[in-house]
Chains A and B, each alone.
Chain A
């Protein structure tokens, strides 16, 4: 389990790449030679590594229509692991993860012969490589997103890596934590200190737990297509406690008749888990599990904000139901949007708006409309209508918008375009946030958080529901279908 090399590459559109940072581990390379035998391939120098990587990722020649090496139909990448052709053979496995304008690359050690190529699951270092790159990504992405900040962070990397991965075997992937560390505690404790707790906290004791649920939705308003919605939630936690090893138990509760939380994934600091918590899964078609909470998570917290657990939930209805009709009449578009808040959902938003984009048509010159509620904003150049609904729905919980849109001349350079929305395929996208509410009903409160600590900490809990990818499709034209079950 070790890493042969690590790279951070920035890539501009146009195929020019720059190696921002690279680190090689020669002692691991020596072991690779012994393990791989005849199938050993040396890692080339950066000036050869970079173009080989960019070519393999298909990032070169962006203007050329068809390049056999890049576009051949038999060249199918099913994972993020690539084989780079370098000199005498193919360098494999090269894990390359693009993220924003950067590509994070890592080559783990394979402790066996690579002829034939072993399945990824048998390579012990592969998951280590994933985790380490994720840590690196987290470090680079924290903070400002500009060039100077990036340079500063890259400059800090060499020393950080000497701590986190001195000779090729990573000991810690939380680079940000290492940066903030101030040595933990003195050595004469009775209890062993956790290795991932790199500093101490001094101050008022408090525990914050936040449940953030996101709801995805695809509504079609068609008889033969099922609407789809999905809820997933993240419980984040921050424990400001002075003890070195406090124990905390957070319980998540569901209301009576609430659908159980499914696909629960917990943070490594969670010491133990009741197996009943894991029984409910979205893979099962019908949920036989009788268990619906409370979900207890005992853990020893790290210092900063961390994701305690993830879950998904199948709720009976989406929060906002609606339909969208768009028809073309001569050169005008007639639209109708109708939205209804479900009565079981809390009618109190931090913000709620519907964006109605028009692609491949040019800029909006004129919009005649009739609005039953809210305010309308027309972004002409971008070809988008923004319907600001505000903080709450009216008493009837139902609102509608009708209107006619007229477009101006199309200058192809500025035209907003979308490959999926051609013809009359169009959508309305909702953006909203409801504080102090979750769709699954999941909640936690002061009584559900137990802290075994000398000081009595203040417990702050919160929850929220945020929309993510909430689409309502035009029912008068074809729409790309997302969820299908052969069993409905």
Chain B
């Protein structure tokens, strides 16, 4: 017993029905089925609920019983239940549902086979129930059960054609004897069995003359494997197997068919059409059976108001054509059909169906036999005189009538046709008037569809097409928000016609309209629509875009568009530009487009728009048309392929992966050699100080120059960038060389990269200037990396030998003010020497360095070590003043005494002393 009351259970069932798979994946199929079966067996559950449960098996058999085995088992359980339920009117509906559920389960799970016990049981049960003719045994109350059994047999026969083909005699006799209203089911059952039996016989080929008669009068067992030897599903169309028995062989069959047709009116209309369909097929297969049998029904069918009966007559027309319908009959039927399409008392969906039938009317002498719409030959302009669409019709009726009439007018000529076409145009104009004054979405969409149809059929008439364009322009002028409809119309008509001249003419006219609009009409939000339209027009390379771009330029220049910086507007303008770049020949509009893009990238107050404008500008200025198109065509794909194309465009090489990566070289390809420039650039200090040199204010002014001047405290070293030895041939030409410098410590400011455009091995090495900004004066080593491209487009990165900046490289002479004479240097030296007393500040230091040196070698030594820095050199005492960036000094006084050189050193930064001593030692070693 399932927990939960009625409402709860109801909700579960509803959620199961809405999405069975999800329900079952949450709940588990087996458990749910168990639950359902328990419910069915339980006595406490109401009958209504049991019926609902059975309906679930009826509708979702494969989900509840996924395999043949479970299908069989469940069917057996239900069969048991059926036999145990008493035969009273109270359980009638339940028993009917049980029967149907069992049958559905067995058929759907493919378990309806001869060797399956449940199948055998079901079949015999159904036959047993059906055999109780005229309610003799079970009584009137259980008649619906009998009818259900017949329906069950009919469905079995439909699913397994030929199952009952050996019981035709029995079925016919049952049908004849049954007098109650249930005879309908027996008739339908017999008709299906008869048709399948005839089809089976035809497929087996060349039957003997008496085969038909024998078939009709046979009463044997069930033919379980009938359909297995034939193609699955005996289809209606496709190969028709025919039987051509001698005339005598069809006598019994003919009488059976006539009897069936006589009682046709006793059936409901759907059953009538179903029976007719089976009998039509039988007659179609048996060629010697004339369709004239149906003639008696024709008048009744011609005049029927019922759609399924009228459809039967159309089907007869299709299958039998002139065997049953003379030319007068055909014309009469066509007229009836046309009358039905406009009959005021038939519903709209039915009338639309009839118009469709009209366009697929089965003619006795058709001109072609495709499945598309064809106008029947007999359909004249007069016949369709009342089929004009009006604005009072619903959309589908308007469009289908317009479609039909267009086909009629294309096939016919004459004054009526002219007038008819004029009326069609007037209809479009009425719709146009409605759309002009309303924003009704339905009417708008219908109007554009009407235009589309009109253009499709009548694009040969220039006047009509021109009128149409004018009308559309009128709409757009009034309401620019119709832009999406217009763009859609242009796209669809473009695809439609072989020569898309109309859509181009419309685009041109729209362009003229938009570019002539006054500025008031070109403000957002309307502006966005106009730009959208212009972007679409820009795709037509038959249309010159000069005026469009001119308009954009004007609004950019003359309105506050750029200063307001609205991203949407900018984006819309750029879409137009992009369209132009992608689709147009750029020669004629190059200058003006470049102007526009340049203006945008300079003045539009939105970074993204500026960037994109710059991008387009660069593309425009640098790339050829093909490359432009290719790049811009890749918009919708993911970034990967875009970069793919970009690099392949640059090198015109398919092998993009190698182009993507930067390769590292093993050996250094380049080297930097110090250019020993005697005259190296000295930092220039511009001071605002006095011209006159007076001894007194020397030091003060000297220091002031550091404070006041904005000069960079940097020094420049020159190097030669050259190739190393053993360079590969592909590296003989290097491009876009970038030198990156990395320091191991932070004693210098970060060094800017140096760019060298190209370096060829056969040419001179390049001179590069390395600018150093020391924070502290000390030697250092820089690691240098060079990134460059070779001629084949690949990019390499090469590590150069580390660049040593030695201490002597950063020596600078004392920076004198430009106004001072050279002799001021001595004075400065003296004053500095005095001020560098060690006690006065922490950083000041004094040191003494001695080494052996002869008197003669002194001048050489000083010259080699401190050439540019000698301040004075008289009486064998050399005074050397060195300036170290950022603002430190080294002052030395050197003399030789007894073959020993002594250097008195004073500095305002004791940290330089170790470096100086290393330098001196190195210099000494070099002597």
Q: Chain B residues near A278 (CB, 8 Å)?
A: 299, 302-303, 336
Stretch from B415-423, B536-544, B606-614, B673-681 at the A interface: B415-423
Q: Chain A residues near B96 (CB, 8 Å)?
A: 162, 166
Stretch from A112-120, A327-335, A377-385, A454-462 at the B interface: A112-120
Q: Chain B residues near A131 (CB, 8 Å)?
A: 269-270, 306-308
Q: Which of A25, A265, A420, A486 interacts with B343 by CB under 8 Å?
A: A265
Main secondary structure of the interface of B (DSSP, over half): helix
Would A484 and B339 count as touching, CB distance under 8 A? no
Tell me, yes or no, whether B258 is within 8 Å of chain A by CB. Answer: no
Stretch from A193-201, A343-351, A407-415 at the B interface: A193-201
Would A124 and B148 count as touching, CB distance under 8 A? no
Q: Chain A residues near B396 (CB, 8 Å)?
A: 77-80
Would A283 and B386 count as touching, CB distance under 8 A? yes
Chain A, residues 1-40, CB within 8 Å of chain B (1/0): the string is 1100000000000000001001111110011001100000
Q: Within the assembled complex, what's the spacing in Å between the Cα atoms of A170 and B22?
A: 31
Say how far A49's CB is from chain B's closest CB, in angstroms.
Answer: 10
Q: Which of A107-158 contact B (CB under 8 A)?
A: 111-113, 116-122, 124, 126-128, 130-132, 134, 158
Q: Which of A159, A196, A307 interacts with B268 by CB under 8 Å?
A: A196
- Tally chain B residues at the interface, Cβ within 8 Å: 145
Q: Which of A195, A232, A483 interacts with B386 by CB under 8 Å?
A: A483
Q: Within the assembled complex, what's the spacing in Å between the Cα atoms of A269 and B303?
A: 12
Would A78 and B400 count as touching, CB distance under 8 A? yes
Stretch from B55-63, B549-557, B562-570, B874-882 at the A interface: B55-63
Q: Which of A167, A192, A234, A312 interacts with B179 by CB under 8 Å?
A: A192
Q: Which of B17, B344, B399, B492 interacts with A312 by CB under 8 Å?
A: B344
Q: Chain A residues near B238 (CB, 8 Å)?
A: 112
Q: Chain B residues near A173 (CB, 8 Å)?
A: 268-270
Tell me, yes or no, whether A216 is within 8 Å of chain B by CB. Answer: yes
Q: Which of A26, A119, A195, A197 interacts with B59 by CB under 8 Å?
A: A26
Q: Within the assembled complex, what's the spacing in Å between the Cα atoms of A169 and B191?
A: 13
Residue of A nearest to B484 (CB): A66
Tell me, yes or no, whether A255 is within 8 Å of chain B by CB. Answer: no
Tell me, yes or no, whether B143 is within 8 Å of chain A by CB. Answer: yes
Q: Within the assembled complex, what's the spacing in Å between the Cα atoms of A271 and B104?
A: 37
Would B155 and A285 count as touching, CB distance under 8 A? no
Tell me, yes or no, whether A186 is within 8 Å of chain B by CB. Answer: yes
Tell me, yes or no, whether B440 is within 8 Å of chain A by CB. Answer: yes
Residue of B nearest to A155 (CB): B48
Would A112 and B235 count as touching, CB distance under 8 A? yes
Tell me, yes or no, whether B335 is within 8 Å of chain A by CB. Answer: yes
Q: Which of B100, B141, B185, B355 interacts with A78 by CB under 8 Å?
A: B355
Q: Which of A165-206 contact B (CB under 8 A)?
A: 166-174, 183-198
Would A187 and B266 count as touching, CB distance under 8 A? no
Chain B, residues 279-315, CB within 8 Å of chain A (1/0): the string is 0000000000000000000011011111111111011
Would A216 and B485 count as touching, CB distance under 8 A? no
Tell me, yes or no, whether A257 is within 8 Å of chain B by CB. Answer: no
Tell me, yes or no, whether A268 is within 8 Å of chain B by CB. Answer: yes
Say how far B276's CB is from chain A's closest CB, in angstroms.
Answer: 10
Tell me, yes or no, whether A423 is within 8 Å of chain B by CB. Answer: yes
Q: Chain A residues near B399 (CB, 8 Å)?
A: 76-78
Q: Within the assembled complex, what's the spacing in Å between the Cα atoms of A486 and B415?
A: 8
Tell me, yes or no, whether B345 is within 8 Å of chain A by CB. Answer: yes
Would A482 and B268 count as touching, CB distance under 8 A? no
Q: Chain B residues near A266 (CB, 8 Å)?
A: 300, 303-305
Q: Chain A residues near B162 (CB, 8 Å)?
A: none
Tell me, yes or no, whether A71 is within 8 Å of chain B by CB. Answer: yes
Q: Which of A119, A120, A230, A284 interacts with B335 by CB under 8 Å?
A: A284
Known: A1-B273, A73-B452, A195-B184. A174 touches B159 (CB 8 A): no
Would A192 and B299 count as touching, CB distance under 8 A? no
Would B108 and A195 count as touching, CB distance under 8 A? no
Q: Which of A27, A274, A283, A480 interacts with B104 by CB under 8 Å?
A: A27
Q: Within the assembled complex, what's the spacing in Å between the Cα atoms of A93 and B100?
A: 26
Tell me, yes or no, whether A65 is within 8 Å of chain B by CB. Answer: yes
Q: Which of B444-460 contact A (CB under 8 A)?
A: 445, 448-449, 451-453
Q: Chain A residues near B235 (CB, 8 Å)?
A: 35, 111-113
Known: A65-B484, A283-B386. A31 touches B308 (CB 8 A): no
Q: Chain A residues near B350 (CB, 8 Å)?
A: 130
Q: Within the assembled complex, what's the spacing in Å between the Cα atoms of A216 and B268?
A: 33
Q: Chain B residues near A76 (CB, 8 Å)?
A: 399, 403, 449, 452-453
Q: Within the assembled complex, what's the spacing in Å between the Cα atoms of A420 and B303?
A: 37
Q: Within the assembled complex, what's the spacing in Å between the Cα atoms of A159 and B179?
A: 25
Would B274 and A1 count as touching, CB distance under 8 A? yes
Would A183 and B143 count as touching, CB distance under 8 A? yes
Q: Which of B310, B390, B445 interacts with A480 by CB under 8 Å?
A: B390
Tell me, yes or no, whether A163 is within 8 Å of chain B by CB. Answer: yes
Tell me, yes or no, whether A376 is within 8 Å of chain B by CB. Answer: no
Known: A73-B449, A112-B237. A482 touches B392 (CB 8 A): yes
Residue of B nearest to A24 (CB): B59
Would B304 and A265 count as touching, CB distance under 8 A? yes
Would B310 and A127 count as touching, CB distance under 8 A? yes
Would B438 and A422 count as touching, CB distance under 8 A? yes
Residue of A nearest to B143 (CB): A183
Q: Within the assembled complex, what's the spacing in Å between the Cα atoms of A171 and B446?
A: 39
Q: Within the assembled complex, what's the spacing in Å between the Cα atoms of A120 and B343?
A: 20
Say how far B889's CB is from chain A's closest CB, in angstroms.
Answer: 79
Say how far A456's CB is from chain B's closest CB, in angstroms.
Answer: 25
Would A187 and B335 count as touching, CB distance under 8 A? no
Residue of A nearest to B444 (CB): A71
Would A127 and B273 count as touching, CB distance under 8 A? yes
Tell me, yes or no, whether B223 is within 8 Å of chain A by CB. Answer: no
Residue of A nearest to B489 (CB): A73
Chain A, residues 244-284, CB within 8 Å of chain B (1/0): the string is 00000000000000000001111111111111011001111
Would B485 and A66 count as touching, CB distance under 8 A? yes
Say how far B549's CB is from chain A's closest CB, in angstroms.
Answer: 27
Would B352 and A78 count as touching, CB distance under 8 A? yes
Q: Which of B173-199 contact A (CB under 8 A)?
A: 178-185, 188
Tell me, yes or no, whether A371 is within 8 Å of chain B by CB. Answer: no
Residue of B nearest to A263 (CB): B339
Would B310 and A283 count as touching, CB distance under 8 A? no
Q: Which of A158, A172, A300, A420 interacts with B52 by CB under 8 Å?
A: A158
The 9 residue pairs across chains A and B that have the minimum distance between CB atoms: A34-B233, A187-B134, A127-B311, A265-B305, A195-B184, A66-B484, A78-B400, A119-B360, A80-B349
Known: A173-B269, A185-B180. 14 other contacts (CB 8 A): A22-B17, A73-B449, A76-B453, A128-B270, A130-B307, A131-B306, A193-B179, A195-B268, A196-B269, A216-B344, A263-B343, A281-B336, A283-B335, A481-B390
A binding-site residues for B, Cβ under 8 Å: 1-2, 19, 22-27, 30-31, 34-35, 45-47, 65-66, 68, 70-81, 95, 97, 111-113, 116-122, 124, 126-128, 130-132, 134, 158-159, 162-163, 166-174, 183-198, 214, 216, 230, 232, 234, 263-275, 277-278, 281-285, 300, 307, 309-310, 312, 419-420, 422-423, 478, 480-487
**Could you give 9 example pairs across A and B, Cβ below 8 Å?**
A26-B58, A26-B104, A27-B159, A45-B21, A124-B311, A187-B134, A195-B266, A265-B340, A483-B388
